[in-house]
Amino acid sequence: MPGTRLRVLSEIMERVKSEPRRNLLLHGLAGTGKTSIAITLCRMLQVDPDVVLGGAFFCSRIANTAKLSDTRCILPTLAVSLAEHSPEFALALAKELDTNSRASLKSITLQMTSLVQQPLDGLACSGRLIVFVIDALDECSDKIEINRLLQAISVLKCSVTVKFILTSRPEVDIDISQISTPNWVSIMRLRDIDAIQVSKDIHMYINDAFSRQSLDETWYTESEVTSLAARADGLFIFAATVISYILGTRSPNWRRARLQKILSAINTAAAIAPLDTMYDLVLTRAANPLETDAEELEETKLVLACILTARVPLSVRALAELLDRNAIDIHESLQQVSAVVHVPDQYDQQGLRTLHASFGDYLLERADERFRISTLHGDDALARGCLNILVARLHFNVSQSRSSYKPNPPVPTVLDSMPLSVRYACMHWVYHVARLPRGPTLDDDIYNNFRPRFLFWLEVMSVLGEVQRAAAMLISAKSIVRPT
């Protein structure tokens, strides 16, 4: 383990035990390793005899799963996690839910009372500290709800000792809120760590990745590794992206060429943030006119827009079917940006996503006009793709149920038998339509093509166990679709 992270973890563990009633907020810029610290911390807490890891929630935008960026999902998840490890807490929680079965749907304040505070008050006194870890709060979409969560944590009082460990980017609205006071929280800032030691750790990280390659020729020098570590400016994600980009080819000559391009690009763009420089270099290479024409570049941008706006991670095949493309072509278009986008090896494997949320921010806000992407582009393509799938794939007994008098088949069985593109279209079409400016084209498609297949869609939602979601989607559709 690099020395910097080891010291951070040691200090966190010391504060956990020496300041049990003060929560801990770890601040750090994007790409500085907060999530990897949180993951390692959870592993350490699991084996510590003096501490109970109550649960962990890793917020995320790049996972494209709405629940992972919904602040209201955090406390219910933590309560379930603690219940799985503590039979006593599970009984107390079950008793509370008997009288308040919809507690997880209430406000964050009421969630804290019903799902955390009252069940904890029902526990016998214990000398062990209960710790909850919440990573990447800034990844949650609603900043008002974030502060409501922090406020609920700040006033939590129960018979056992509870501590929350939070990580976040240094967001202003969190920093200046009333709950960021010394008597409530102990704040650690990664930027305060010795920059020289951080650079040494990144140097070790890059050098280890390069040296493990079994190539006969030496294609890099120690001074070049040192230069890369210095240019990373404390960002581990920059180092990881550099490694992925350079080692994306097995040829020593090409690896050296890529290394030189990176060093040259950074040296001539000193005023640009290291990650933006790296992203610009990857996309510039993907747009090389000798290898990619304008039409292919637009296709790659469309695919990236869809990855950024998809509500859950898709597979290559599912995205291809939604866009009415060949899976081979989709996979090929993503190979040029594989240093910054996770592309599963198998076409049917879910997991298409950007490797770091900062790449999505770059594409949407700071990229050169050649590469700039609009979320409307992705929502429009996915909305039309979903409706096309619904029209083409929905039919009588689409779930292949043997009898309408028998219970639905188990959801895992349905998931295995129904293509991901169909499931995605059924569960998410209205959300993409809702994000688009109103126009007659989609309204016509919904009324003339989807409405005759409404009962088939409802059948799919039923066998997927998503009838409540279907009701919410219909309410939303009624408010945004104009009759024709």
Mean pLDDT, rounded, for 446-458: 87
Q: What token pair was written down for 361?
A: 């921010």
What pLDDT was estimated at residue 209?
A: 86
- In contact, 429 and 383? CB cutoff 8 Å: yes
Q: How far apart are the first and last CA of the chain?
A: 63
Give the confidence band of 318 by pLDDT, cuts at 50, 70, 90: very high
Return mean pLDDT, the chain. Answer: 83
Mean pLDDT, rounded, for 435-462: 83
Domains and CATH numbers, the chain: 3-192 (3.40.50.300), 195-271 (no CATH), 294-373 (1.10.10), 376-480 (no CATH)
DSSP string over 159-219? SS-EEEEEEE---HHHHTSTT--TTTEEEEEGGGS-HHHHHHHHHHHHHHHHHTS--SS--
Burial of 271 (0-12, 13-18, 19+ CB in 10 A): exposed
What's the one-letter identity of residue 384? Answer: R
Place of tokens 């038998």: 417
Q: How many helices (H) and strands (E) does the chain have?
A: 23, 7
Beta pairing partners, 478 = none
- In contact, 139 and 357? CB cutoff 8 Å: yes
Sign of CA dihedral 228, 230, 231, 234: positive
What pLDDT was estimated at residue 355?
A: 73
DSSP state, 20? T
What pLDDT was estimated at residue 194?
A: 62
Beta pairing partners, 168 = 27
Mean pLDDT, rounded, for 98-111: 89
- In contact, 481 and 433? CB cutoff 8 Å: yes
Task: Tell me how far CA of residue 335 lies from CA of 12, 304, 361, in angstroms.
Answer: 40, 12, 20
What pLDDT was estimated at residue 269?
A: 41
What pLDDT was estimated at residue 16?
A: 85
Task: Tell me how far CA of residue 161 lies from CA of 131, 148, 254, 400, in angstroms.
Answer: 9, 21, 56, 52
Q: Give the residue from 50, 26, 29 showing the smallest Cα distance to 39.
A: 26
Q: Answer yes or no: is pLDDT of 1 > 60.
A: no
What is the C-alpha R_g of the chain? 25
What pLDDT was estimated at residue 216?
A: 54
Q: Answer yes or no: is pLDDT of 354 > 70.
A: yes
What pLDDT was estimated at residue 268?
A: 44
DSSP state, 80? H
What's the one-letter identity of residue 256? Answer: R
What is the enclosing helix (H) or strand (E) of 227? Answer: helix 222-232
Q: What token pair was written down for 9?
A: 């973890």
Mean pLDDT, rounded, for 295-309: 91
Mean pLDDT, rounded, for 246-264: 83
pLDDT digits (tens, 9 = 90+) for 174-210: 655 555 566 677 788 776 666 677 778 888 888 888 8
pLDDT digits (tens, 9 = 90+) for 340-350: 888 887 899 99
Calpha distance 1→9 (Å, rounded) = 11
What percent of the chain stands above pLDDT 70? 85
DSSP string over 412-428? HHHHHHS-HHHHHHHHH
Mean pLDDT, rounded, for 54-58: 95
Q: Answer yes or no: is pLDDT of 271 > 60.
A: no
What pLDDT was estimated at residue 272?
A: 45
What pLDDT was estimated at residue 394?
A: 87
Calpha distance 431→64 (Å, rounded) = 13
DSSP string over 301-355? HHHHHHHHH-SSPPPHHHHHHHHT--HHHHHHHHHTTTTTEE--SSTT----EES
Q: Residue 47: which residues within 8 A CB-CB, separation 6 or more?
A: none
| DSSP-derived 3-state class of residue 457 | helix
Q: Give the residue from 380, 383, 466 showing the smallest Cα distance to 418.
A: 466
What's the one-letter identity of residue 151? Answer: Q
Mean pLDDT, rounded, for 143-147: 86
Sign of CA dihedral 11, 12, 17, 23: positive
Calpha distance 299→324 (Å, rounded) = 12
pTM recorded for the entire structure:
0.61
| DSSP-derived 3-state class of residue 131 | strand
Calpha distance 325→109 (Å, rounded) = 47
pLDDT digits (tens, 9 = 90+) for 393-413: 988 877 766 666 666 666 556
Mean pLDDT, rounded, for 146-173: 85
Length of the chain: 484
- Which has the minimum average pLDDT: 63-72, 138-147, 266-275? 266-275
- Which has the minimum average pLDDT: 69-78, 98-107, 170-179? 170-179
Render the burial of 358-386: b for 16+ CB within 10 Å, e for the rest: bbbbbbeebbeeebebeeebbbbbbbbbb
Beta pairing partners, 58 = 135
- In contact, 404 and 344? CB cutoff 8 Å: no
Task: Tell me how far CA of residue 435 lies from CA of 1, 432, 475, in angstroms.
Answer: 44, 5, 15
Burial of 484 (0-12, 13-18, 19+ CB in 10 A): exposed
- In contact, 64 and 76? CB cutoff 8 Å: no
Q: Give the residue from 133, 123, 53 showing the smallest Cα distance to 90.
A: 123
Beta pairing partners, 159 = none
- Which has the minimum average pLDDT: 134-148, 224-238, 308-322? 224-238
